[in-house]
Amino acid sequence: MPASVAIPDRPAEDEQELLGLPGGEPRPLGGTLTFIGGLIVFVILPLSGVPWPIALLIAGIFQTGVTLYFLLQYAANPNFKQ
């Protein structure tokens, strides 16, 4: 007979807990996307010769998209956690 398996009282709230990994909640997606946007604007675009005003325009478009994504997710589900 197989060993008994404990069934949790509540479902796992995040991927780390679901996988049984230590470390708590995973890094928020919004912070990761903001970091990637900053990397693109302040490192990749200037090194490739894109003028600063164009790089900042691209950053604004990217960040607006990220913000709209989270606003729409929250509007669809008020319990949404990033």
Going residue by residue through the chain (82 aa), what tens digit of pLDDT does each one get? 556 665 555 555 555 555 555 555 555 677 777 788 788 888 888 888 888 888 888 888 888 888 888 888 878 877 766 5
Q: Which pair of structure tokens corresponds to residue 5?
A: 């398996």
Q: Tell the residue number behind the tokens 């912070």, with chain if given.
A: 31
Say if pTM beats, i.e. exceeds, 0.75. Answer: no
In a domain? residue 37:
yes
In a domain? residue 57:
yes
In a domain? residue 53:
yes
What total of structural domains would you count in the chain?
1
In a domain? residue 20:
no
Residues 82 and 76: their CA atoms lie apart, in Å, by 13
Helix boundaries (H) for 1-82: 15-19, 29-39, 45-47, 52-76
In a domain? residue 35:
yes
In a domain? residue 36:
yes
The residue segments making up the domain with residue 41 are 28-76
In a domain? residue 2:
no
